[in-house]
Copies of this chain bind each other. A is one copy, B any other.
């Protein structure tokens, strides 16, 4: 079975899971029935406990779906604490549905799979030993990779039905009012976790910082929380986010960032009130600073910046060059602090950010989106999930979601070491080429042929070398030579959903 992008999908698995192949980036205007949780009533007076084991014993049962958020990133102490107790209790056959999996969770996740505690996973991403193990067939059922917006969609329409959500928070009161802004392990926006809080049948908060009732602002509300579990520590502050996202000094990244800025400022979208999302990649971050100079020079300000928020975006907000930051996640401590202090930095949940099954997601209002890539193929399809070795080592994140912008720019070095980024065929397609407008590499740019209007805007810009994407792929190949194609078994280890729930690609088990 092939989808519209010519990606081969496993017919048997597709049928068994009642999945449909990717067709189009157009969502249309159908009506969708939302789902809702089952709520156990409480006056709120018996929520606090320090007996995590008892809570797990009473609420987690074989075959359930449990979830976590990844806002603590590599400083997370919650996932491992909870999963170890679940394994100890001999609970089996769980589906793991976190917003994403970070490296610090890998050892315990692998052990849980080996023990049969976890038999299914849906996540935004995985890396390191877990990605490697799954790529080599550790998990019997295929992992379902979903974008942040796709996860919100699946939770809101019941495709992901979370029985118990374990949500670590840097503060909570005795009834469960909590936010991500205060406490030693503050990380800022609770954007992804707000979905779990709103839709899981049971919500268990874990915190090391029980504060006076009522705790405000309450991003997570007492109406959503069943238990408040006091633990020794929910995370390692030093590993949650860097102090301030650092400005890249890599000349290649600076070159790319400069070119991206040129593309934006010479496009028709660079006008007063424009909006944009940058990722957290080295080049993407540098773009913000180049943009700033151009905005100041042209007396142009932005209506909003979206997505994972970083220090450079906060600087633009504070300089009055952006009106609002719409904040689903904070990548550094400066951004997290700013959300607490600046009323114009609004916390948004993953649905508001990017759920396509929605009365309007923020991503659909984006003018400019700057995204990275592991690979981009000559149809502009982008891979951010598997490496050149076919091993899972990335995350869908908000990539598909933000690619709905009017001007979606993929920025990547042409080659990384001996590995080409621009290729004839990507190992995995995460974001369809039809939603990508421009590729920027340090050697030059390529404009998607479906955008002759953009090409016209950019073709006489001094210093902007425009190639066809085939030319850039050939250039990359000239530099690194041709590798033998990777070998895979027939077994599907993961399926990649497009944001609308259709299947955009399958990842096969590595043969080695």
A residues near B (Cβ < 8 Å) are 27-45, 47, 175-176, 203, 212-214, 216-218, 221-226, 273, 303-304, 323-324, 326, 343-344, 346, 351-352, 355-362, 364-365
Contact = CB atoms under 8 A, between A and B. Distances in A.
A38 B31 contact: yes
Contacts of A362: 214, 222
A225 B484 CA distance: 53
B359 A326 contact: no
B44 A38 contact: no
**Interface of chain A: mostly helix, strand, loop or mixed:** loop
Given A344-B216, A346-B214, A359 B39 contact: yes
Contacts of A217: 343, 346
A33 to B, nearest CB: 5
Contact of A34 (B27, B36, B47, B304): B36
Given A30-B41, A33-B38, 18 more contacts: A27-B41, A27-B43, A31-B39, A31-B41, A34-B37, A34-B39, A41-B356, A43-B364, A213-B303, A213-B304, A214-B303, A214-B304, A214-B324, A214-B326, A216-B324, A217-B343, A223-B351, A225-B359
Given A35-B36, A352-B222, A41 B214 contact: no
Contact of A365 (B33, B213, B357): B213
Nearest to A33: B38
A35 to B, nearest CB: 6
Contacts of A355: 223
Contact of A358 (B41, B218, B304, B365): B41
Contacts of A360: 42-44, 47, 175-176, 222-223, 225
Most buried by B among A27, A45, A304, A346: A346
A40 B29 CA distance: 6
Given A214-B326, A216-B324, A352-B222, A39 B357 contact: yes
Given A217-B343, A359-B224, A38 B43 contact: no
